[in-house]
Amino acid sequence: MAYERGSGGQLRTPHRIGILAAGWTGVIHVALWLGVVEPSPGPMSPLGISFLMAGITFFTGAYLVRANIRRRIVYLLGIPFTAGQILLWYVLNFDGIADMLSSAGAVGASDKIAQVILIATLTYLLSRD
Protein backbone atom coordinates (compact mmCIF):
# COMPACT_ATOMS: atom_id res chain seq x y z
CA MET A 1 0.00 0.00 0.00
CA ALA A 2 1.41 3.41 -0.97
CA TYR A 3 0.13 5.05 2.20
CA GLU A 4 -0.69 3.89 5.68
CA ARG A 5 -4.19 4.21 7.06
CA GLY A 6 -4.60 4.47 10.81
CA SER A 7 -6.78 2.18 12.83
CA GLY A 8 -10.26 3.21 13.83
CA GLY A 9 -10.90 5.55 10.95
CA GLN A 10 -14.14 6.94 12.31
CA LEU A 11 -14.62 10.67 12.34
CA ARG A 12 -15.51 11.89 15.79
CA THR A 13 -16.58 15.40 16.76
CA PRO A 14 -12.98 16.64 17.27
CA HIS A 15 -12.07 15.44 13.77
CA ARG A 16 -15.04 17.33 12.33
CA ILE A 17 -14.13 20.49 14.25
CA GLY A 18 -10.56 20.29 12.94
CA ILE A 19 -11.72 19.69 9.36
CA LEU A 20 -14.08 22.69 9.55
CA ALA A 21 -11.38 24.93 11.05
CA ALA A 22 -8.82 23.86 8.43
CA GLY A 23 -11.38 24.31 5.67
CA TRP A 24 -12.29 27.80 6.87
CA THR A 25 -8.69 29.00 7.06
CA GLY A 26 -8.00 27.33 3.68
CA VAL A 27 -10.89 29.26 2.10
CA ILE A 28 -9.64 32.52 3.60
CA HIS A 29 -6.10 31.94 2.30
CA VAL A 30 -7.30 31.15 -1.23
CA ALA A 31 -9.61 34.19 -1.10
CA LEU A 32 -6.63 36.33 -0.04
CA TRP A 33 -4.64 34.92 -2.95
CA LEU A 34 -7.46 35.83 -5.34
CA GLY A 35 -7.91 39.27 -3.79
CA VAL A 36 -11.56 38.59 -2.95
CA VAL A 37 -11.55 39.68 0.70
CA GLU A 38 -8.69 42.18 0.69
CA PRO A 39 -6.55 43.71 -2.04
CA SER A 40 -4.29 40.95 -3.34
CA PRO A 41 -0.53 41.37 -3.26
CA GLY A 42 -0.72 39.81 -6.73
CA PRO A 43 -1.36 36.13 -7.38
CA MET A 44 2.18 35.54 -8.61
CA SER A 45 3.97 37.61 -5.97
CA PRO A 46 5.83 35.69 -3.25
CA LEU A 47 3.17 36.67 -0.69
CA GLY A 48 0.36 35.73 -3.08
CA ILE A 49 1.90 32.33 -3.75
CA SER A 50 2.34 31.81 0.01
CA PHE A 51 -1.42 32.41 0.47
CA LEU A 52 -2.21 29.84 -2.21
CA MET A 53 0.21 27.27 -0.79
CA ALA A 54 -1.15 27.74 2.75
CA GLY A 55 -4.70 27.26 1.48
CA ILE A 56 -3.75 24.11 -0.40
CA THR A 57 -1.90 22.80 2.67
CA PHE A 58 -4.91 23.32 4.95
CA PHE A 59 -7.23 21.61 2.42
CA THR A 60 -4.79 18.71 2.03
CA GLY A 61 -4.54 18.23 5.79
CA ALA A 62 -8.33 18.21 6.11
CA TYR A 63 -8.57 15.65 3.31
CA LEU A 64 -5.94 13.38 4.86
CA VAL A 65 -7.73 13.39 8.22
CA ARG A 66 -11.08 12.80 6.52
CA ALA A 67 -9.63 9.90 4.51
CA ASN A 68 -7.86 8.52 7.60
CA ILE A 69 -4.45 8.70 5.95
CA ARG A 70 -1.53 9.04 8.40
CA ARG A 71 -3.53 11.12 10.83
CA ARG A 72 -0.87 11.28 13.55
CA ILE A 73 1.66 12.71 11.10
CA VAL A 74 -0.92 15.26 9.94
CA TYR A 75 -1.52 16.27 13.57
CA LEU A 76 2.23 16.50 14.27
CA LEU A 77 2.91 18.63 11.18
CA GLY A 78 -0.29 20.65 11.42
CA ILE A 79 0.40 22.09 14.86
CA PRO A 80 3.70 23.90 14.05
CA PHE A 81 2.52 24.80 10.52
CA THR A 82 -0.59 26.51 11.88
CA ALA A 83 1.31 28.15 14.75
CA GLY A 84 3.77 29.48 12.16
CA GLN A 85 0.88 30.99 10.21
CA ILE A 86 -0.26 32.88 13.31
CA LEU A 87 3.28 34.06 14.12
CA LEU A 88 3.96 35.23 10.55
CA TRP A 89 0.62 37.07 10.39
CA TYR A 90 1.48 38.92 13.59
CA VAL A 91 5.09 39.73 12.65
CA LEU A 92 4.26 40.88 9.11
CA ASN A 93 1.21 42.97 9.97
CA PHE A 94 1.49 44.59 13.40
CA ASP A 95 3.77 46.70 15.59
CA GLY A 96 2.54 45.24 18.85
CA ILE A 97 -0.38 43.68 20.68
CA ALA A 98 -2.31 46.98 20.90
CA ASP A 99 -1.93 47.50 17.15
CA MET A 100 -3.14 43.96 16.48
CA LEU A 101 -6.19 44.34 18.74
CA SER A 102 -7.18 47.64 17.12
CA SER A 103 -6.66 46.73 13.47
CA ALA A 104 -6.90 42.95 12.93
CA GLY A 105 -10.14 43.14 10.92
CA ALA A 106 -12.95 40.62 10.73
CA VAL A 107 -11.30 38.40 8.12
CA GLY A 108 -7.96 38.23 9.91
CA ALA A 109 -9.60 37.68 13.28
CA SER A 110 -11.88 34.89 12.03
CA ASP A 111 -8.92 33.22 10.33
CA LYS A 112 -6.79 33.32 13.46
CA ILE A 113 -9.67 32.12 15.65
CA ALA A 114 -10.07 29.16 13.28
CA GLN A 115 -6.33 28.51 13.47
CA VAL A 116 -6.28 28.59 17.28
CA ILE A 117 -9.23 26.16 17.29
CA LEU A 118 -7.33 23.99 14.80
CA ILE A 119 -4.18 23.91 16.97
CA ALA A 120 -6.22 23.04 20.07
CA THR A 121 -8.08 20.32 18.18
CA LEU A 122 -4.91 18.82 16.68
CA THR A 123 -3.26 18.81 20.10
CA TYR A 124 -6.27 17.04 21.60
CA LEU A 125 -6.40 14.50 18.76
CA LEU A 126 -2.67 13.85 19.02
CA SER A 127 -3.11 12.93 22.67
CA ARG A 128 -6.17 10.72 21.99
CA ASP A 129 -5.74 9.00 18.58
**21: burial class by Cβ within 10 Å (0-12, 13-18, 19+)?**
buried
Asked whether residue 6 is assigned to any structural domain, the reply reads no
In the chain, the number of structural domains is 1
Asked whether residue 4 is assigned to any structural domain, the reply reads no
Predicted pLDDT of residue 3: 46
Asked whether residue 104 is assigned to any structural domain, the reply reads yes
Asked whether residue 2 is assigned to any structural domain, the reply reads no
Digit-coded pLDDT (tens) for 98-126: 655 556 678 888 999 999 999 999 999 99
Asked whether residue 1 is assigned to any structural domain, the reply reads no
Asked whether residue 89 is assigned to any structural domain, the reply reads yes
**CA distance to 58, 104, 110, 119, per residue, from 125 (Å):** 16, 29, 22, 10
Asked whether residue 103 is assigned to any structural domain, the reply reads yes
Q: Provide the residue range defining the domain that includes 114.
A: 13-128
Predicted pLDDT of residue 91: 83
Digit-coded pLDDT (tens) for 42-98: 777 888 888 999 999 999 999 999 999 999 999 999 999 999 999 988 887 766 666
Asked whether residue 33 is assigned to any structural domain, the reply reads yes
